[in-house]
Structure 1
Amino acid sequence: MADSAHRTRPARRPVASSAPPAPAGTDGPLAVVAGLFTLAQLLLVHPSMGLGWDETVYVSQVSAHAPASYFSAPRARGVSLLVAPVASWSSSTSLLRGYLAVLAGLALYLALRAWRGLFPVRVLATAGALFAGLWVTLFYAPQAMPNYWVAVGALACAGCFLRGWRNPADRWALGGVGAAAALMALMRPTDAVWATAPLLVLGAARRRWRPLLALVAGLAAGAAQWVIEAYADYGGLLRRLADGSRLQGGLGLHLAVDDQLRSLDGRTLCRPCDVPAPHPAVALWWCALPLLAAAGLAVAVRAGRTLPTLLPLACAVTAAVPYLFLIGYAAPRFLLPAYALLSLPVADALLSLLTGPRGRPRPLLTAAAVLALAGHLAVQYAVLSHTVRRTTAQHRAWARTAAELHRLGVHPPCLVTGHEALPIAYYAGCASAAISGPNANATAAGITRTAHHVPTAHLTPPGGAPADYARTWQPHRFSTLRIYLAPTATPG
């Protein structure tokens, strides 16, 4: 009887733990990949490269170095918050780059770790290495730009969502979903919606309310400031969205696949993208990417992990749609979220190709893959090196122009208008103004009034004519620019 009672006693139900998941294995390979990624940024992307155009906008919002630049409708405050711990008290670009490189490595580690238990560690480490080895990833990760952070946020969000899908009581997974979604929405709210659309649809269709609510709450928390600001400063949410579309050339049906292809040789902005296609060696990896991703899905189906592969694939597709089919220009950084999400099935496909049915290595295929990977990395390094040199030269030209403005008597508080006024003004510690274009924030009459009180300069490119309000100002030649100084800024 005692034995019978023991056999019929109901089994005790497992209690869900609130501790962080600890799947078998080690995080060592992930930490190594993240550490090497940080080191590569510091070595290959010069910390002294200077700030780019968009970077000066984001950094100026929290920096004491220069007045805040005009903040156009599509932008969000996430990057400014990210750089504030350094930029709020230091104008050192090298310090800022180092800080962002370390954060980028840590973020990659956390994003990969979100997938522990869903893929083998070797697949995660390979995926991280593939993503981190792209020139566009290395170039933008240490910059004050939003795209890399949307990418790692999307990767972490999808992984945590799947964890919450498997175990709705996993508080760490649900918290990760919310935090990653909030990070994306802080950086670029519209991109966050595109990147998480499959998660939203799947959660609602299958009624997995906990991960779905965590996702919605994270998106809402991250986008709240952007929405409030839309009503406070931009005429409402719909008006801000419409202005953002207009500044991007009007969202609609545009085939930008070929533009993205042309931008792979290091063009940070291809607008208009009327340039030759890159060398086949530069574009080969990009053309092979969808084929390898499809192969990764086939591998996942055989391995019985279809959903963990299909979901990041779907998120990668929706994240890429607006930048491949809805805008009429290209920038390589736009597709970083898609590259991060695709890295998982691509790594799975490659590792499966290199091992036999029983897990035995295939020496010939492995040797060929090593050679192909070495060639791929060499091409990525060549593009990165060229891009860094060209970008550094441009930023130094802005710094020289700022120094010339100082020599001519344009010292803070001051105002700069005209050609490339926004970044040059930041370098000079001045405010910037424009009466037309995507950064229009002033009128000719307003600029003229300001010129009566503070040193003001107007810049024109080679062969360009000054704006009407600056026609009577004193001209000075400098390098390829012509500088027009308002009477208050004239030396002596």
Structure 2
Amino acid sequence: MTHGAGTPPTVTRRSEERSRPDGPKATQDAWPLAVLAAVFTLAQLVVTRPTLGMGWDEIVYTSQVTTHHPAAFFSAPRSRGVSLLVAPVASWSDSTVLLRLYLALLSGLGLYLALRVWRGLFPTRVLVVAGAFFASLWVTLFYGPQAMPNYWVAVGALIAVGAFLRHREDPSSTGMLWAVVAGATLMALMRPTDAVWVTIPLLVLAAVWRRPRLLAAVVGGLLAGGVPWVAEAYASYGGLSERLAEASRIQGRLGLYMAVDDQLRSLGGRALCRPCTGEMPHPVITLWWFVLPVLAVLGLVVAVRAGRALRTAVPLACAVTAALPYLFTISYAAPRFLQPAYALLAIPVAQALWYLVTAPRGRWRTVLRTVVVVGLAGHLAVQLTVAVHTANRSAASRGDWARTAGGLHRLGVTPPCLITGHESIPIGYYTGCSSGATAGNNENMTAEEIRRTAERVPVAEITRVGSRPNGYARTWPVHRVEDYDIRVAPAPDTPRE
């Protein structure tokens, strides 16, 4: 191991020994991580609130395993990992509050386990700061208790990369080898393509170092989590290439795009920025995004000087490859897409912050400590403000769906039933109906199938007020509910025009 200039080898060895878990002290060192995870769990419930209704994507994932609602159309890019994650609750209960509590607890446990893997590579104080940084981001607080995949890709990435480095330093640690498998499997179950992007540096390093066990662990994890997605591709889409092509179409045709500005626009609390137009958020909201890479690079410099470059360079490299497809290959943005990159960048960022408050001497130490404390306080205030704003706005839109469902029930559209047209998936879920579409990314029926369905069960077509309905619904009676025009198919024994 190479030591930086001015850093005595004995000092480096002592710092590494202090960061290595050992007996009772290891248990004591784990307590700060457990406290952090508990605070994170409570913060999710306070900010997002367990009563927050189900979102569009959550409905798609959850409806696959619940017996209380018909399964929504499951498009090509999606993977079944989230459905498996929520199955222990959603398979027998339709309580959103219970599901939120379950996911918040699970998110806290996931963060704790992911950070524990890194003990032995960095002191606990660094891991606590890294975990606190990632957990305090509004996108983490908002999506932690939701049935969405990106947070779990981030947890899997932390586990896989940390265990990879632990096993590299101690090849006898069989447990860390299995942790690599577990982390890669979790990522691939949630989003197979994300898992591949995250693990590119790991695959390259394992091959260069000639570590067949590490290489097999990464590949084995990817296969274990990705095989169900591949099998479904052949069963439902005609093959893997066909599913990938359909996934690309749904995502706007993958190619070379500049989505960096789209991601910046989404930082103000836009869950999905598609199309991503409008003004940029206030600079106070986006400032942290520009400071983040600077701190990450500083963390790498500090690690190189301390002789621990690899421990920092690997998560930094994995963060870069995780972010690349969402910054340069798609034409829209969602802040949650970058959660795995944020989680991995948290490691070098935490090192940089500790360096800034401990390394300088004299007046500079006081100045830098003040800057760091003020900066972190401002950062936390901004993140909490955006998180609360986003949660409130989401609650309002989901409340609209619930009220529209109530209006449909009053019109006689009750299960079993079918909802088509605008936002048919979420409104159908809240109404207890199936959802259908004859065109677009969620196409799953023909107009003739909808007409035949209307002969058996209630069917309603939903459009925005004044918008043109589909041809099969143009003669159906129109009713105004909330901001929608609802056309309900006449009952089979009612004369039709």
Same fold (TM over 0.5): yes
1:327 aligns with 2:319: no
1:438 aligns with 2:429: no
Percent of paired sites with the same residue: 63
The match for 1:13 is none
Query: SS in structure 1 opposite 2:414?
Result: coil
Change (3 A) 1:436 1:367: same
Alpha-carbon deviation of 1:28?
1.4
1:254 aligns with 2:257: yes
Alpha-carbon deviation of 1:490?
10
- Runs of 5+ consecutive residues of structure 1 not aligned to the other structure: 1-19
CA contact (8 A) 1:160 1:173 kept: yes
Cα distance in 1 between the residues matched to 2:342 and 2:223:
25
**Cα distance per residue 1:119-156 (max 9 Å; x no partner):** 11110000000000000010011100000000111011
The match for 1:399 is 402
The match for 1:130 is 133
> Letter of the aligned partner of 1:292 in structure 2?
L
1:166 to 169, 187, 200: 169
1:460 aligns with 2:463: yes
1:229 aligns with 2:227: no
Query: SS in structure 1 opposite 2:460?
Result: strand
Alpha-carbon deviation of 1:356?
2.5
Cα distance in 2 between the residues matched to 1:413 and 1:205:
58
Query: SS in structure 2 opposite 1:488?
Result: coil
CA contact (8 A) 2:419 2:435 kept: yes
CA contact (8 A) 2:403 2:482 kept: no
Cα distance in 2 between the residues matched to 1:28 and 1:358:
31
> Letter of the aligned partner of 1:330 in structure 2?
A
**Cα distance per residue 1:233-261 (max 9 Å; x no partner):** 11100100110011000110000000001
CA contact (8 A) 1:34 1:109 kept: yes
Alpha-carbon deviation of 1:367?
2.8
CA contact (8 A) 1:455 1:489 kept: no
The match for 2:299 is 296
> Letter of the aligned partner of 1:340 in structure 2?
A
The match for 2:96 is 93
Alpha-carbon deviation of 1:462?
2.2
Cα distance in 2 between the residues matched to 1:199 and 1:450:
51
1:342 aligns with 2:345: yes
2:482 to 462, 479, 485: 479
The match for 1:200 is 203
> Letter of the aligned partner of 1:417 in structure 2?
T
Alpha-carbon deviation of 1:463?
2.1
1:374 aligns with 2:360: no
Cα distance in 2 between the residues matched to 1:121 and 1:52:
36
CA contact (8 A) 1:72 1:439 kept: yes
Cα distance in 2 between the residues matched to 1:21 and 1:350:
23
Cα distance in 1 between the residues matched to 2:71 and 2:54:
15
The match for 2:178 is 175
CA contact (8 A) 1:35 1:105 kept: yes
Change (3 A) 1:28 1:482: same
> Letter of the aligned partner of 1:223 in structure 2?
G
The match for 2:152 is 149
The match for 2:83 is 80
1:284 aligns with 2:267: no
Aligned residue pairs, count: 473
After TM superposition, list the pairs within 5 Å mapping 1:381-392 onto structure 2.
381-392=384-395
Query: SS in structure 1 opposite 2:479?
Result: strand
> Letter of the aligned partner of 2:440 in structure 1?
G
The match for 2:413 is 410
1:244 aligns with 2:247: yes
Change (3 A) 1:286 1:441: same
> Letter of the aligned partner of 1:113 in structure 2?
R
Using structure 1 for the length normalisation, give the TM-score.
0.94
> Letter of the aligned partner of 1:317 in structure 2?
V
CA contact (8 A) 1:354 1:361 kept: no
> Letter of the aligned partner of 1:184 in structure 2?
M
Alpha-carbon deviation of 1:21?
6.5
The match for 2:113 is 110
Cα distance in 1 between the residues matched to 2:285 and 2:249:
32
The match for 1:14 is none
Query: SS in structure 1 opposite 2:182?
Result: helix
Alpha-carbon deviation of 1:370?
1.5
Cα distance in 2 between the residues matched to 1:283 and 1:431:
40
Alpha-carbon deviation of 1:364?
3.6
> Letter of the aligned partner of 2:127 in structure 1?
L
Cα distance in 1 between the residues matched to 2:364 and 2:35:
23
**Cα distance per residue 1:428-449 (max 9 Å; x no partner):** 1110000111101111111111
Q: C-alpha root-mean-square deviation of aligned residues, in Å?
A: 1.8
Change (3 A) 1:440 1:362: same
CA contact (8 A) 1:410 1:455 kept: yes
Query: SS in structure 2 opposite 1:362?
Result: helix
Alpha-carbon deviation of 1:289?
0.8
Change (3 A) 1:297 1:484: same
Cα distance in 1 between the residues matched to 2:161 and 2:318:
8
Change (3 A) 1:490 1:289: farther
**Cα distance per residue 1:332-363 (max 9 Å; x no partner):** 00000000000000010011011136899933
Change (3 A) 1:385 1:489: farther
> Letter of the aligned partner of 2:31 in structure 1?
G
Alpha-carbon deviation of 1:65?
1.7
The match for 1:351 is 354
CA contact (8 A) 1:50 1:395 kept: yes
2:70 to 64, 67, 91: 67
Query: SS in structure 2 opposite 1:258?
Result: helix
Cα distance in 2 between the residues matched to 1:32 and 1:171:
28
The match for 2:11 is none
- Runs of 5+ consecutive residues of structure 2 not aligned to the other structure: 1-19
2:216 to 213, 224, 230: 213
Alpha-carbon deviation of 1:56?
0.3
The match for 2:41 is 38
Cα distance in 2 between the residues matched to 1:451 and 1:464:
22
